[in-house]
Amino acid sequence: MRVLGIETSCDETGIALFDSEHGLLADALFSQVDMHVEHGGVVPELASRDHVRRLLPLIEQVLAEAGLESHDVDAIAYTAGPGLVGALMVGAATAHGLAWAWQVPVLGVHHMEGHLLAPMLEDERPEFPFVALLVSGGHTQLVAVHALGDYELLGESVDDAAGEAFDKAARMLSLPYPGGPHIARLAEQGDPTRFRFPRPMTDRPGLDFSFSGLKTHTLTTIKALEAQGALDDQTRADVARAFEDAVADTLVIKCRRALEQTGLKRLVVAGGVSANQRLRQRLDTALGKMGARAFYPRGRFCTDNGAMIAYVGAQRLMAGERDAQTMLATPRWPLAELAPPARCQD
C-alpha cells in the first residue's frame, strides 16, 4: 500500500510517500522557523496560513520525486492531533478533499505515535516491546510501547517540556528561537565544571519530569551574574553547558530507570530534543553499561515530518482503519488513549 502522509500540526509542513513493500519513497519538508523567529515563538495564525500555501506544491514535489502519478496513491494519512488546531485543520481538510477526489481511504493519525514509530523508517528497527522517550518542545514523556497502538504512559513532565525549557533558557541568554540547537552550540565552548545545575526530580522515585525549577534556577543564576557584571561570553557558554548537562542527565537518569522498571532492553528516543548530541552520547554510554540499546530516527525525522505520519498511517490503514467523513483536528489528545488498529465502523 502506498500512503501519502501529511503533517501540519505546528510550524513545519511535511509530506511523504511511504510504500508498505518498498519503504519510504520520497519526503519533503518546509519549515516556517524563519517566519516565527521574529516573534520569539510560533504564531498559530501565521502557521495556519503558511500551511495552506505550502501543501499542494510539496505534494506535487513528493509525487514527482517518487516518479508517481496521483492514481498510484492508495491512501492518505494526516496528522489529526495533538497540535495547533488551526494548523491541524489545514492538513485534515486538504487530506479529505484529496481522498474524495482520488476515491481512496483517508485516516487522521496521532502525531506522537508518528514520533514514537519514526525509528521504524530506519534499516535497523527496534522490535516491540520497547520504551520510548518522546522529547520535544511540546512533550516530555516516557512510554512503554507494547505493540502498535498499545501504549502505556510511564511518566511525563508535570510542567514545561524539555524543548520548551531549552527555548526559555535560550531567550534568557539572548539566543534565538528554537533554543535547542543554539544552546547546544554555545555549550560547546562552556566549562562543565563552572556551574552545577539541579537534576530535577531525580532524587525521588518515579518517572515524571519537571523542568520549571531548572528554568528558574537558570534565570536566577543569570540575574545574579548580570548584577555582578559577570555575564561575559565565556560565562554565558558556561551557563549553557550547565543547563544542557542538567537536562541531558535528568533525561538519562529517567530513561535508565524506565528500562529497569519495565525490564526492557530497547529505548526509542524521538522528538526534536532527540537531535541533541550530548543527550545521545550520554544515553549510549548509560545504556551500554546495562546491556540495553537506544534507537534514534535519522536527523531530519527527529523533528516533525510527513514520513512518520505516512508510516503510522500505512500500518493502521492496512489493518482497515479509516476516517468516516469527518475531518479530525484534536488539539489535545493523550497518547495513552490510542488503541490498536480498528476497522472502520461504517
Partner 1 sequence: MTSLLALDASSSACSVALWMDGNVIGRVEHAPRGHTRRLMPMIDALLDEADIARTSLDAIAYGHGPGSFTGIRIAAGVAQGIAYGLERPLLGISTLRALAQGAWQRDGASLVMPALDARLGELYVALYQAEQGRLEAVMADGVVAPEALVLPSCQPGSITMIGSGVTLLDRLPSGIQEYVGTTLEDREPEACDIVQLAAMDFASGLITSPQQALPIYLRDQVVSSKR
Residues in the site for partner 1, rule: CB under 8 A?
38-40, 43, 45-46, 48-49, 52-53, 55-57, 59-60, 70, 85-86, 89-103, 325-329
- Kindly give the interhelix angle for 44-66 and 85-102, rounded to the nearest 10 degrees: 30
Pick the closer one to partner 1 by CB: 52 or 153.
52
- Residue 182 among known ligand-binding residues: no
Among 156, 164, 158, which residue's Cα sits nearest to residue 140? 156
Taking the complex as a whole, the smallest distance from the CB of residue 179 to partner 1 amounts, in Å, to: 14
Taking the complex as a whole, the smallest distance from the CB of residue 169 to partner 1 amounts, in Å, to: 16
- Residue 116 among known ligand-binding residues: no
Taking the complex as a whole, the smallest distance from the CB of residue 42 to partner 1 amounts, in Å, to: 11
Taking the complex as a whole, the smallest distance from the CB of residue 256 to partner 1 amounts, in Å, to: 38
- Residue 180 among known ligand-binding residues: yes
Pick the closer one to partner 1 by CB: 38 or 203.
38
C-alpha grid cell for residue 321?
A: 482503519
- Residue 115 among known ligand-binding residues: yes
- Residue 304 among known ligand-binding residues: yes
Strand partners, 269: 133
C-alpha grid cell for residue 90?
A: 489545514
Which string of DSSP letters, residue by residue, matches 170-205? HHHTTPPSSHHHHHHHHHTTS-TTT-----TT-SSS
Residues 6+ apart with CB under 8 A from 167: 41, 137, 177, 178, 179, 180
Pick the closer one to partner 1 by CB: 40 or 334.
40
> For the sheet containing 23-31, what is the strand order?
23-31, 12-19, 2-7, 75-81, 106-110
Pick the closer one to partner 1 by CB: 58 or 258.
58
- Binding residues for substrate are 134-138, 167, 180, 276
Cite the annotated binding site for Fe cation by residue number. 111, 115, 304
